[in-house]
Structure 1
Amino acid sequence: MTDCSDCTILLLDDEPLILMDLEFAVEDKGCAALCSSTVQQAIDLLEQTETIHVAILDVTLQDGETCVPVARALEQRGIPFVLHSGDLDRQDETVRDLDAELIAKPSSADSVIRRALDFSERTRA
């Protein structure tokens, strides 16, 4: 999938520049971006938004948070997600057990968005 004019992507990353770069790449694909930098913001967006097609989650967030609560909420709703992280080797087994594609940082934002959209398409097929 290269374009998605009515697609909504949830983004979770605590690094403002990475989040902004991902947001621009989402918009360049014709999608809507829902941006969050904390678990609570992501959960709030998830609860307030009727349709989310795929999510891109940074694994390690500020103050020792991980994306696990958001990933579990996405799983409950049947929304596919990818993990975008530079430190996957340091995470506990809970993160490793998440059913998601792993995208190592650094990766270009365009590549991350493309892989997330492709992953979403494969899981819905």
Structure 2
Amino acid sequence: MSPRILIVEDEALVAMELRFVLEDLGHEVVDICATARSALNAVRETEIDLALVDIHLSDGATGIELGRRLGQEMGVSVLFMTANPGMVRQGVAGTIGVLSKPTDERAVQTAVDYALRRRQGQPIDYAPPGLQLFG
């Protein structure tokens, strides 16, 4: 079964490109959500392995709290993808790290692979380039 990924991104072109990259890598993109509320609803309706979460969404800067809730309360692995990585410099409880936008396909691939391997409890001896890990 391929990993189930949720994209939380309010810029449609960014979200669609991310979807294509992830599907080309063999992952299942369960949904694309532009607000924290729609993302929470998506997670309640189906099992999600990993959420890629932007900080600034259609309903404001709600991504940080969304990431915390998904990670701590709902058991979803969370990577932030944002042009504002300084907003989460201190880390967010329950989340893995942040990938700065704009990014490229290779950075997305290595960050997603890292997060999924970590979720499965596999040994990891590297930090992917471009991914700032939280404590």
Give the TM-score taking structure 1 as reference length.
Answer: 0.81
2:92 is matched with which residue: 94, 97, 112? 97
2:83 is matched with which residue: 83, 86, 94? 86
Alignment match, 1:118: 114
Q: Secondary structure at the match of 1:62?
A: coil
The answer to whether the 8 Å contact 2:64/2:88 transfers is no
The answer to whether the 8 Å contact 1:22/1:110 transfers is no
In the alignment, structure 1 segments of 5+ residues that lack a partner are none
Relative distance call for 1:52 and 1:44 in structure 2 (3 A) is same
Q: Secondary structure at the match of 1:72?
A: helix
Amino acid at match of 1:38: T
CA shift digits 1:74-108 (9 cap, x unpaired): 2212221111011122x378x73343211001101
Question: In 2, Cα distance between the equivalents of 1:103 and 1:85?
Answer: 7
Count of residue pairs the alignment pairs up: 118
In the alignment, structure 2 segments of 5+ residues that lack a partner are 122-135
1:48 is matched with which residue: 14, 24, 45? 45
Q: Secondary structure at the match of 1:64?
A: coil
The answer to whether the 8 Å contact 1:55/1:116 transfers is no
Amino acid at match of 2:38: Q
The answer to whether the 8 Å contact 1:22/1:113 transfers is no
- The percent identity for this pair of structures is 24
Question: In 2, Cα distance between the equivalents of 1:48 and 1:63?
Answer: 21
Alignment match, 2:74: 77
Question: In 2, Cα distance between the equivalents of 1:92 and 1:80?
Answer: 16
Amino acid at match of 1:72: R
Question: In 1, Cα distance between the equivalents of 2:6 and 2:19?
Answer: 9
CA shift digits 1:43-63 (9 cap, x unpaired): 1110110x2111100011234
- Structure possessing the higher relative contact order (Cα contacts under 8 Å, 6 or more residues apart): 1
